[in-house]
Amino acid sequence: MTYPVMDLFDLTGKYAIITGGAGFLGRMHAEALAEAGANVLLWDFSEPRLATAVDELRRKFPGQIRGECVDVSDVSSVARASEAFLSTSKALHVLVNNAGMTVAQGEGKFTRYFDRFEEYPVEMWEMAIKVNLTGPFVVMQTLAPVLREAKHASVINIASDVGIISPDHRIYKRNPERDYPGVHFNSPLSYATSKAALIHMTKFLATYWASAGIRVNAISPAGVENSQDPKFQRELTDRIPLGRMALPHELKGAIVFLASHASSFVTGHNLVVDGGRTIW
């Protein structure tokens, strides 16, 4: 029996959900899955951002994109969205847990997300863990029945290189006379810890769900270029063997690979897309 290689990447007729789907990377993940033929449902807590993302993606992929306003940190919100999905689809083939507290959010609503460890608010720590770790837990638990119905479902958890190695705190220094004065963003302990735990959750569920045919993998990207401060970009790229940050489209291949039958014998794996950063 032959399996043409391009057929292995084909997701035509499959159903996918992406949490945080209206965000910077969420849109790229959606585009990748839709290009491979999947019907994609974006879950995002921001209604205006979701409307914009759905509108833009529908122009490229008419009939393949839908959106639902969902807060993954709210169990009842996830339950309602799951019921809505069940009313139109009986199986879920691909789940991408992409939602998380990010730099963009930290500079807005969650300004204390980037505080020094010594002054870090417990409530901010708890909020980050709730979104970055409890969110995927709740989403996977709630959607487990439809993942099982798909027979050969794929779950992809978006982790981070700082879930493997410690953030290099020197990148965020702005004044050589002091350690961390006026830092406007960084990779806080709450982020790194939640991503490390998400990688282990991936491994746990990969063995737990193996008999149900559900594969669970993670992707750990390094920094993705998104108009960051030039000084930060220089500091970070000096620590990446390939000498640059990732471009947004460079995660698309990893997403389609893990979502499709091209990775049918891959589970419990953390695919590191970091330009070689974690090998140093």
Q: What is the pLDDT of residue 103?
A: 53
**Bridge partners of residue 96, in order along the sequence:** 18, 156
The structure's pTM equals 0.93
Q: Lowest mean pLDDT of 53-62, 71-80, 116-125, 259-268, name the range.
A: 116-125
Q: Which of 67, 31, 13, 63 is nearest to 256 (CA)?
A: 31
Mean pLDDT of the chain: 92
Model pLDDT for residues 139-168, shown as the tens digit of each residue: 999 999 999 999 899 999 999 999 999 999
Question: Percentage of the chain surpassing pLDDT 70?
Answer: 91
For the beta carbon of residue 262, count every other beta carbon within 10 angstroms: 19
| pLDDT beyond 60 at 16 | yes
More confident residue, 182 or 128: 128
With contact defined as beta carbons under 8 Å apart, do 7 and 258 qualify? no
Q: What are phi and psi of 273, to 5 degrees?
A: -120, 85
With contact defined as beta carbons under 8 Å apart, do 197 and 133 qualify? yes
More confident residue, 116 or 222: 222
Token pair for residue 132? 């970055």
Averaged pLDDT for residues 186-212: 96
First to last CA, the chain: 42
Query: Distance (Å, rounded) from C-alpha 5 to C-alpha 58?
Result: 28
CATH 3.40.1390.20 holds for 5-166+183-229+249-271: no
For the beta carbon of residue 19, count every other beta carbon within 10 angstroms: 28
Token pair for residue 38? 């999947």
For the beta carbon of residue 34, count every other beta carbon within 10 angstroms: 20
245 Cβ neighbours under 8 A, 6+ residues apart: 222, 223, 224, 225, 228, 233, 236, 237, 275
| pLDDT beyond 80 at 177 | no
Name the residue ranges covered by the structural domains of the chain: 5-166+183-229+249-271
Q: At what angle do helices 24-35 and 252-259 cross, to 10 degrees?
A: 50
Model pLDDT for residues 82-94, shown as the tens digit of each residue: 999 988 888 999 9
- Confidence class for position 181, pLDDT limits 50, 70, 90: very low
Query: Distance (Å, rounded) from C-alpha 59 to C-alpha 124?
Result: 38
